[in-house]
Amino acid sequence: MVSAGHDPRLRAGRPMRADARRNYEQLVEQAKIAFAEFGVDASLDEIARRAGVASGTLYRHFPTRLDLIEAVLSEQIAQLVDLGRRLLTAEDEFDALSTWLRAALRHGLTYRGLSAAVMDSALDHENGPVSAWHAQMFEAGAALLARARQTGVIVSDANDADVMKMIGAIAWAAQGTPDSSAQADRLLTLLLNGLHRGGIQR
């Protein structure tokens, strides 16, 4: 799931030294925290300081801000895809779909500015890692939606692309509001109510 360009075990086809790997992992971990706290425009020098390395070390691993964003994103998307696959065996199809959509929405809310940054990357590099991760995430959501449609727990005309777009729209609408998580949850509940066949879900 992690692109070769952001795999901490490899650099130019060679295994990374243990100290370099630790630096890489600390930088990614501190970037997650900083991006969640300040958005994707967080200071790279501050991320390096928090990771306990020089700024030059950060730039050797991640020459551009987008490289660091993609390293953070690759892990998050991998977790969402893995969750989607595991939920395909859950007994309650609607609960499985709801759980995954909530996880996808939380991901969208976590990093302010992430959606715009990765969308710009996807547009500029149609065959790049962001486009591949987008496809993997869409596939995971589509599989859960298909299962829910087949068992009749959601309306038959629930379109995969429309539902995924609405999750992105909810994240965009809720970001920056004082109660972003609560507002996003309310909007998602409205979406789930519209999807569910046979009654309102609370």
Average pLDDT, the chain: 83
Tell me what pLDDT residue 173 has: 87
Half-sphere exposure for 193 (CA within 13 Å, toward CB) = 9
Domains, the chain, ordered by start: 4-61 (1.10.10.60), 70-195 (1.10.357.10)
Rounded to whole angstroms, how far apart are CA atoms 2 and 8? 9
Alpha helices in the chain (DSSP H): 18-38, 44-51, 55-61, 65-87, 93-110, 114-124, 129-150, 160-174, 180-195
* Three-class secondary structure of residue 165 per DSSP: helix
Closest CA to 90 of 159, 151, 155: 151
* Token couple for 108: 């969208």
User: Of 16-30, 34-48, 117-131, which gets the smallest average pLDDT?
Assistant: 117-131
Q: What pLDDT shows up at residue 114?
A: 61
What's the Rg (C-alpha) of the chain? 18
Residue 127 reports pLDDT greater than 70 = no
Average pLDDT, integer, range 132-141: 86
H helices present in 39-92, as ranges = 44-51, 55-61, 65-87
User: Rounded distance, CA 118 to CA 80, Å?
Assistant: 16
Question: From CA 188, how far away is CA 201, in angstroms rounded?
Answer: 11
Centre a 10 Å sphere on the Cβ of residue 60 and count the other Cβ atoms it contains.
14
User: HSE of 31 in the Cβ direction (CA atoms, 13 Å)?
Assistant: 29
Mean pLDDT of 20-49: 92
What band does 1 get if pLDDT is binned at 50, 70 and 90? very low
CB hemisphere CA count around 101 (13 angstroms): 30
